[in-house]
């Protein structure tokens, strides 16, 4: 994909506007079309016409009010509806979906009705809730687009008569501040990036105003905003007035934006995914270290280590073997008395491991033959494991490495996996075991 094209359109009833939407999609073929005010229940959404021209659709709506939908050439990697807090979810006002690594937030912000009503208060609160959602769920360093009917004309040039219209629920200082606060999270107005200071550019024309389009009596309240990674790649943004001039139109028209060099965006998204993986691995190691620190004896220490490692990395089988050491003595027998530990002592269940291998990749284990490693860590202690090996760590169907106590050779791991975490856990384990055995001898 060399470019990514996304459009937004308040259809004001999707069933009444199919004669505009479907031909427009067929002619323009955007990657994504975000729609608002679909005004239809999910059971009655007109899905077949979209499918016939090759579009997937995610939608959520009610019979009479609100309603949002996203049509896309690519099936979304994930879809979520509504805000994620203790307030009303408003699933029929917000769709959050991911396409080609780009998060798209399609929203129909409450209009507000009148500044003296609770509806306007709810509108201002909605902006606050959306910003909290962005701060909680997303990162400004990731590619993200916020678009839709945002019910705000943020500048005086965004309305045809700013003096007369000042104070309207979509054009007043309170709503400007609310919108600016969300934008300050790290979003760029893509249309204004390409047309700074240009007046008479509108996406909404009131039905009640005769020949409003010809007379340029409109509002710019439909927007496409993007995080810096995408804003830099924006190569165009335009208002298409043809839908508003069509037979039986919506009172809004279509806003379209295009982004170039999507391969760069994809690489950036993959890099961020690796960063998130590494953070996840760090948390898992930290959890295991905390878990083994509370062990009371060697048997519990080993059992806890095996169970926590299996749980944190979601792997079904772990084995281990001991350093040949004359001081093992009684505690070796103690470990063998554990059904869990004895079943895994000096054993390798290759069939289980092989079943986890994805995409014809081999696990990075023991010279590719699944035998435990023999590198000793830490070297200053006589009580340590020869090797504790686990099934390969598989994330997103890709083997990124394996966990092996006693192995400091970074060549056995994905370059994105920091082996110091593994070495640190091995040292922690050895230190706890050494303290236990020393205390046992003193007793």
Q: Could you give the residue numbers annotated as active site?
A: 108, 149
Q: How far apart are CA 392 and CA 399, in angstroms?
A: 6
Taking CA atoms, 35 is separated from 14, 93, 124, in Å, by 8, 10, 22
Q: 44: which 2 tokens?
A: 């009655």
Beta strands (DSSP E) in 61-215 are 68-72, 78-81, 94-99, 102-108, 144-149, 188-189
Chain position carrying tokens 């590494």? 278
Instruction: Indicate left, alpha or beta for 379 from its phi (over 0: left) and psi (-120 to 50: alpha).
Output: alpha
CB neighbour list of residue 368: distance below 8 Å, 6 or more residues apart: 362
Beta bridge partners of 80: 96
* Intra-chain end-to-end CA distance of the chain, in Å: 69
CB neighbour list of residue 203: distance below 8 Å, 6 or more residues apart: 218, 219, 220, 221, 222, 239, 252, 253, 254, 255
Q: How far apart are CA 164 and CA 153, in angstroms?
A: 14
Phi and psi angles of residue 168, each rounded to the nearest 5 degrees, phi first: -60, 155
Return the closest-CA partner of residue 60 out of 18, 14, 126, 21: 14
**Crossing angle for the helix pair 419-442 and 262-293, to the nearest 10 degrees:** 0
Chain position carrying tokens 């075991």? 433
Return the closest-CA partner of residue 391 out of 357, 415, 359: 357
156 contacts 162 by C-beta, under 8 angstroms: yes
CB neighbour list of residue 138: distance below 8 Å, 6 or more residues apart: 103, 144
CB-facing half-sphere around the CA of 433: CA atoms within 13 A: 26
Beta bridge partners of 225: 146, 189
């Amino acid at each position: 994909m060399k470019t990514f094209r996304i459009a937004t359109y308040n259809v004001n009833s999707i069933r009444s506007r199919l004669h505009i939407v479907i031909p427009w999609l067929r002619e323009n073929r955007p990657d994504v079309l975000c729609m608002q005010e679909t005004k239809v229940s999910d059971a009655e959404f007109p899905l077949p016409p979209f499918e016939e021209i090759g579009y997937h659709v995610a939608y959520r709506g009610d019979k009479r009010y609100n309603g949002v939908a996203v049509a896309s050439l690519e099936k979304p990697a994930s879809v979520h509806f509504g805000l994620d807090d203790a307030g009303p979810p408003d699933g029929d006002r917000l769709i959050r979906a991911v396409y080609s690594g780009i998060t798209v937030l399609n929203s129909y912000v409450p209009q507000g009705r009148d500044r003296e009503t609770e509806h306007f208060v709810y509108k201002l609160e909605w902006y606050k809730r959306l910003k909290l959602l962005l701060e909680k769920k997303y990162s400004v360093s990731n590619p993200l687009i916020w678009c839709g009917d945002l019910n705000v004309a943020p500048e005086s040039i965004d309305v045809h008569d700013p003096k007369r219209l000042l104070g309207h629920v979509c054009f007043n200082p309170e709503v400007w501040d609310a919108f600016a606060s969300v934008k300050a999270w790290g979003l760029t107005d893509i249309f204004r990036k390409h047309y700074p200071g240009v007046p008479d550019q509108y996406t909404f024309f009131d039905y009640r105003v005769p020949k409003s389009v010809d007379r340029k009596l409109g509002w710019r309240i439909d927007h496409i905003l993007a995080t810096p990674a995408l804003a830099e790649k924006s190569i165009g943004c335009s208002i298409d007035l043809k839908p508003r001039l069509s037979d039986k139109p919506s009172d809004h028209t279509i806003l379209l934006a295009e982004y170039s060099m999507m391969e760069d965006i994809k690489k950036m998204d993959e890099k961020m995914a690796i960063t998130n993986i590494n953070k996840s691995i760090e948390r898992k190691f930290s959890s295991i270290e905390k878990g083994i620190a509370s062990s009371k004896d060697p048997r519990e220490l080993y059992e806890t280590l095996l169970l926590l490692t299996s749980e944190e990395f979601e792997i079904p089988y772990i084995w281990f073997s001991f350093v040949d050491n004359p001081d093992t003595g009684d505690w070796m027998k103690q470990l063998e008395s554990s059904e869990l530990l004895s079943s895994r002592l000096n054993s390798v269940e290759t069939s289980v491991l092989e079943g986890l291998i994805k995409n014809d990749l081999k696990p990075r284990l023991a010279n590719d033959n699944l035998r435990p490693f023999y590198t000793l860590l830490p070297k200053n202690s006589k009580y340590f494991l020869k090797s504790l090996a686990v099934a390969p760590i598989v994330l997103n169907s890709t083997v990124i490495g394996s966990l092996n106590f006693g192995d400091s050779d970074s060549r056995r791991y994905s370059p994105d996996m920091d082996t110091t975490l593994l070495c640190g856990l091995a040292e922690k384990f050895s230190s706890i075991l050494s303290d236990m055995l020393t205390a046992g001898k003193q007793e």
